[in-house]
Amino acid sequence: MFGAILRFYREQAGMTQEALGKRLGFSKSQVAMVERGDRPPKGDFAPLADDAVGARGALLVAAEQLHVSHLPTWTEEYAEEEAGAVALHTYQNHVIPGQLQTGAYAHAVFNCHCPPLSDDEVDARVATRLDRQKLIRREPAPVISFVLEQIAITRPLGGPSVLKEALHHILDIARLRNVEIQVMPPTRQTHAGLNGPMILLETAKRRQLAYVEGQSGGFFVDEQPDLGDLFARYGILRAQALSPEDSAELIEQVARGL
């Protein structure tokens, strides 16, 4: 909406994107991205643009109401459900799940993004991820569990020191009464999660949902029999994984070796 208002007043003023950019000290592409909603107005963009196109404060008011999300579009709806969840169960096979990441580890994850993200976008996504971790210590406490493939706790994203800090963080969270963390050993000859990672949750209204994310998007599973199959699959994964106690001992061993 901010971009649409900017475009309206710019065209009313008879200015091109290039002309407005020169007036503001921004490039034509930056103006275009703001108008498309691909990036938020940064710095003094809004007040300068408001004056340049004669919006008489309209852009300033719009900027005050601007909500900038740094989540991928397909993740926003999931994040809303997650924030109010009374139960959250996660199976992850490549990286430490976002709910368990430290700031340094999250930086390392987002620095692997292809195509690369800007430094500002990486910082914003890390801040958003860490803010979502409030769920773990929320009151009343939700029931939370994780099943992690062993590679997730041994892959040194960000370097050994970053991984070591992340593992100690996992151990701290595992001590919470409402959290159980299990590791899936690589020696398993049968495995219920070969189709990939998943997140299962129970909403504040006691509705069960599953969320599955891939390379370019994610989707909810909320209808039977697929939903029931995913919950059953996760139950089998927990039975196949190491116990929480043995998992903690393994995580400690990995951390000591770094």
Give the per-residue pLDDT at 3: 87
Give the per-residue pLDDT at 204: 86
Give the per-residue pLDDT at 241: 98
Q: Distance (Å, rounded) from C-alpha 90 to C-alpha 225? A: 20
Mapping DSSP onto H, E and C, the string for 160-225 reads HHHHHHHHHHHHHHHCCCCEEEEEECCCCCCCCCCCCCEEEEECCCCCEEEEEECCCCEEEECCCC
From-to residues of CATH 3.30.870 in the chain: 73-256
From-to residues of CATH 1.10.260.40 in the chain: 2-64
Give the per-residue pLDDT at 219: 84
The 10s digit of each residue's pLDDT in 43-80 is 788 899 999 999 998 888 888 877 655 555 556 677 77
CATH number 3.30.870 given to 73-256: yes
Beta bridge partners of 202: 87, 208
CA 120, distance to chain mean position in Å, is 16
Q: Distance (Å, rounded) from C-alpha 114 to C-alpha 118? A: 11
Give the per-residue pLDDT at 121: 87
Q: Distance (Å, rounded) from C-alpha 115 to C-alpha 112? A: 9
Query: Is the distance from CB of 182 to CB of 146 less than 8 angstroms?
Result: yes
Output the pTM of the full model.
0.73
The 10s digit of each residue's pLDDT in 215-237 is 877 788 889 999 999 999 999 99
Give the per-residue pLDDT at 174: 97
Whether the per-residue pLDDT at 205 is higher than 60: the answer is: yes
The 10s digit of each residue's pLDDT in 232-255 is 999 999 999 999 999 999 999 999
pLDDT-derived band of residue 202, with 50, 70 and 90 as boundaries? very high
Tell me which architecture the domain covering 2-64 has in CATH. Orthogonal Bundle (1.10)
Better-predicted residue by pLDDT, 216 or 149? 149
